[in-house]
Each structure stands twice: as C-alpha cells, then as structure tokens.
Amino acid sequence: MAARKRAQDLPLAACKQQIRRSGERHVAALILARGGSKGIPLKNIKTLAGVPLISWALRAAGDSAMFHSVWVSTDHDEIEKVAKSWGAKVHRRSPEVSRDTSTSLETIQEFVRLNPEVDVICNIQATSPCLHPFHVKEALEMITLQGYDSVFSVVRRHQFRWQEVKKRYGELTKPLNLDPANRPRRQDWNGELCENGSFYFTTRDLIMKEGLLQGGKVGYYEMLPEYSVDIDVDIDWPVAEQRVLRYGYFGLVALEVVRLMFCNVSGCLTEGRIFLSISGKEMVSINTRDTVGIRMLQKEEVEVVLLMSSEDPMTQLVNQLSERTGCKIIQVGEEPLNVLKAIVEQRKLEWKDVAYMGSDKADVNCLSLAGLSAVPGNAPRVAINAAKYTCHAVGGMGAVREFAEHILLQREKAKSQKKQDRIDLKSVHIERF
C-alpha cells in the first residue's frame, strides 16, 4: 500500500501554481453529454444549484490546470452552446455512438480516433457535480508520475450485500460480504471500495489497442463520501443540490473574499414592470427581502453599488432608493463595463473580488468577468449562460436576497478552507490490482 498527501494541504491557488504538466503527453478531459437522457430530459444542462449540471465538471476540469484541452462530446445543439459558453471544445459525436445502446467506450474511441494528438483521456461524468480540481490533479499524477495506465474514482461503502433471488417458493438468499453470525461493527470493518463514476483516466493505447477503460497497471483514487454525488433520476436532484451547495466547487473565487457588488436595479432589484397611476406618475415596487439581503452584505463589509440606465424609471427616485438601501447609485450605458472597470481600479480590486448581478444581454461581459455573478431565474438565456449562478427567485421577488446569501455562503466556505489548509487530512490509499 502506498500513501500520499492530499492536494488540500495547500490553498488551491498555490496548488495551481505548482502543477506540473505531463511533458510531451497531451492530456484531455472529455465529458460525455448525450441529449437523449431518458430519466431526466436534457439532464446535463438542467440547472443545479444555479448553473447547468455539466458546468460543475467543466469548472473543476478547467481550474485544475492539468489538461491541455477540455472537451464535451454531444449530439445536441443546446448542450453544445452551454459547453462553449464555459470554454470547452465540442466533439460533435456521430449518430452511430449517440444511440441509447451506445457505450461510453465506443464514444471515447471515436473521440480518440478523431483527435490523434491526445495521449491520456480523463472521462469526467457530468452527473458528478462535487468534483474538485484537487481530485483530478492527484489522480492524473498517478499516471504521469507513478506510471499507472488507468485510474478511476471510488468511494468507501459500509453496506452489507445479499444475493438476489427469484420470487419462487423455497428459494433462499445468502450473504455475499458478511457472516450473519459475526456481524462486524462499522468501526471494525474497512468497508468496500465501489466505483462512484466521477472520473476514469485511461491512456490512448489502452483504449484503442485493447478496447479497455480499465486495464494495464490499474489504480483507484478514493474520494470521500461527501464528494461522491451522482444524479440518475429526478428524486436525486434536490438531495444533490443541497450536497453541492455545501461541498461543491464554486471556482477559485471561493477562496477569495468578495468586497464589492454591483447590482442592476431594473430586472434584479425590481421586477421590471412599471406601474402607471391615474395622474400619469410612474411607479415601481421593491421587495423588502431584497433590501434585507443588501443590508446583510453591508453588515459583512461588502460594498453594494446599484446600477441604473438613463431610461430606467427609477432615476426619478434615486434619493429615496439610496436612502432606503444605503447604496451608492451610478448610471451606466449600454455597456456597463465601460463605467465599472474604472471603479474597480479605483478601489484597487481585481474582478475576482467583485460580485455582479445583471439581468440581460448588456450585462454579459460583466457577468463573465466577475468572480461571482448571478442573474434572476427569469433572465434570458444569453445572460444565464454568462452567469456563474442562476437564482431560483425572479427579479424583484427575492433574487437579490438569494444571491446575497450565496455570496455569504462562499465567504464561510473560504474561512473553512483556510482552516482546512492547516490540517493534514486523511491520506488517500492506492494500490495495484
């Protein structure tokens, strides 16, 4: 047995700087995302904890800095759009490997044939959203530094298994991994290692010459149970969402502290509707839940700046709005970035220290740049694709409060991570079998 120290004993930014590429070998991440899911239609791009499901895997792969290329293999136009919006290349798979009966191996073999430069493939499952960069970094090093031909992820389970029997009279079951007369206590039993489906690293030669994803010198990478989340049917979704919010990887900004938030008034703080009175006056409504969310951020020393366009009816109520929220209000044009980049520079911040909430196409550049960004649940697709978080609530109905809570959650996770950096976590054991 061999033991190695986990990558978590250093901050993620430091790990990223120390990552060693694999020399001349081209390492590619490949996520298989067929459009014809039977259990959950278009499951791979259904929103989970604010972003499309596939985005969790893409974010972890990209931030690991271990891959020369990151790919999504798909047969669906919408999945292709989401993949490209997250910076991935797209392998448009053929109809021959897009059938219900097609195997992962067949799809990967097609990808490898069409991309002869690839030497090592990491097949990451889109349905495992709690993957972190340190997982793929440590697993890949087993191939590049320790000479394994294939490595796959496992989780330790403590479950007693019994043989299945047909529903016929007199047929008896029997235990498969225990002695009923001497049932072990959990603390006295190491459990069993089970594939959790999160990822499979394999060399090109193993795939093309032997037709295997697991073979040669085989090793496993053990992931802790909290990271072993899989989504198969609808009932898995709400449970997975809660697990992701607690254990998911939200990007490098999760280790930083947001100090400034920009928020559009129209479409975010308000619902976008204008009320006309008999006297001809224009009125808008603001949800008190959202103003409380702003105060929550201010209490944690996050500066909140509200944005208005020259056509916004709220421009007549700037003083009242500023007094109610305690926020500075500035006017922006068709491209908010032109105004906001100067403000960020004046405060000697970087965009990773900034949160941005927008609601439309004009916000796309800022949504993409900001360390944390969000849109209300009723935002158009072009804005949703650019944001890092999509609220369940719609504009003017608690979306700002929801994003405020999300920001504060990331701050708590950052604090926890800094504490964890000083702890030598449980070693990961690997062995050849």
Give pLDDT tens digits for 261-312. Answer: 999 998 899 886 666 666 666 667 788 999 999 999 999 999 999 998 866 6
Class of domain 2-249: alpha beta
64: Cβ contacts below 8 Å, ≥ 6 apart:
16, 19, 133, 134, 136, 137
Mean predicted confidence (pLDDT) in 93-122:
93
181: Cβ contacts below 8 Å, ≥ 6 apart:
none
Q: What is the pLDDT of residue 333?
A: 87
Residue 432, pLDDT > 90, answer no
What's the burial of 371, exposed, middle or buried (CB within 10 Å: 0-12/13-18/19+)? buried
Chain length of the chain: 433
CA distances from 140 to 146, 157, 178, 200, 212 (A): 9, 24, 34, 10, 18
Higher pLDDT, 417 or 377: 377
Three-state DSSP class for 367? helix
Mean predicted confidence (pLDDT) in 115-127:
95
Residue 12, pLDDT > 60, answer no
Active-site entry in 183, 246, 347, 432: 183
CA distances from 373 to 221, 262, 272, 368, 413 (A): 33, 9, 19, 7, 17
Neighbours of 335 (CB within 10 A): 13
Mean pLDDT value across the chain: 84
CB 378 within 8 A of CB 252: no
Confidence of residue 258 (pLDDT cuts 50, 70, 90): confident
Higher pLDDT, 429 or 186: 186
Q: What is the pLDDT of residue 247?
A: 85
Q: What does the pLDDT look like over 59-89, one tens digit per residue? A: 999 999 999 999 999 999 999 999 998 889 9
Q: Is 183 one of the catalytic residues?
A: yes
Q: Does domain 255-418 have CATH number 3.40.50.1000?
A: yes
Complete DSSP assignment for 124-137: E-TT-TT--HHHHH
Q: What is the pLDDT of residue 280?
A: 62
Domain locations in the chain as residue ranges: 2-249, 255-418
Q: What is the pLDDT of residue 351?
A: 85
Cα(133)–Cα(60) distance, integer angstroms: 5
181 token code pair: 């007369």
257 token code pair: 């502290």
Mean predicted confidence (pLDDT) in 176-198:
91
Mean predicted confidence (pLDDT) in 351-355:
87
3-state secondary structure 12-37: HHHHHHHCCCCCCCCEEEEEECCCCC
